[in-house]
Amino acid sequence: MVSDTQKTLERELERLKRTTHHGQDLRVKWLPVDKQISGEIKNNIIFIYDLEEPIALDTLCHEFIEYIVIKSIEPYRQLANKLMEMFNENAYAIKEETVEGITNLVSGIRIKNRPDEIS
């Protein structure tokens, strides 16, 4: 049997979706337990842990807004990750060239300073 609070949270989530045109793939699940967190999102499910309905509704709103904000900045996160990947590849190539150059330099000095072999 679905509790009244669960139904209320589901109606509120649908209202938030309609109003914002976001989060169509989200669902809500009320699991009233005493946890250190009030809510979280896992696999497109907003889990609400608050024991009291008014607080649970506030948590639902908070988690929903957090979800759409995170979704809206996702392209920037992807861009930053791609730039970091490119930067790391470039830095690695420069480091390898530098190591190779120093190796050639040291090898050249070692060969130049090698005592002549005695015949």
Q: Which pLDDT value is given to residue 119? A: 47
Domain boundaries, the chain: 4-111
Mean pLDDT of residues grouped by 10 in the chain (119 residues)? 90 98 97 94 97 97 97 94 93 94 85 60
CATH number of 4-111: 3.30.2010
Q: How far apart are CA 64 and CA 26, in angstroms?
A: 9
Token pair of 96, please? 């390898």
Neighbours of 3 (CB within 10 A): 11
Are the beta carbons of 23 and 17 closer than 8 angstroms? yes
Closest CA to 5 of 13, 44, 37: 13
Neighbours of 118 (CB within 10 A): 4
Q: Which pLDDT value is given to residue 106? A: 87
DSSP per-residue letters across 5-70: HHHHHHHHHHHHHHHHT--TT-EEEE-----SSSEEEETTEEEE--SSHHHHHHHHHHHHHHHHHH
